[in-house]
Amino acid sequence: MFDQYVREDTQIYDAVVNQEKQYSIWPASRGLPLGWSKAGFSGDKTSCLHYIEQFWLESCPA
C-alpha cells in the first residue's frame, strides 16, 4: 500500500570530514558547519554512506 505521506529522499548530500578524520553526510544545498570540509564525494544518501564506509576506519581500539 502506498503511503502518501512518505516521501522519497531525493536530496543530494556531500560526504564531509572533520580534523579528527570523522566522516558524516551533509545536505549539499547547505553551507558546511565549522570544522568540516567536503571529502570529495556527492550523491544520494545511500551512495554517500557507502563512500564513507570505504574510508572511515574505526579509531577506537578493539
Q: What is the pTM of this model?
A: 0.77
CA–CA separation, 11 and 45 (whole Å): 8
Question: What residues does each domain of the chain span?
Answer: 13-55
**Model confidence over 2-51: pLDDT tens digits?**
566 767 788 999 999 999 999 999 999 999 999 999 999 999 999 999 99
CA–CA separation, 44 and 42 (whole Å): 7
In this structure, whether the domain defined by 13-55 belongs to CATH 3.90.820.10 is answered with yes
Q: Assign 16 to helix, strand or coil.
A: strand
Cell of 33: 558547519
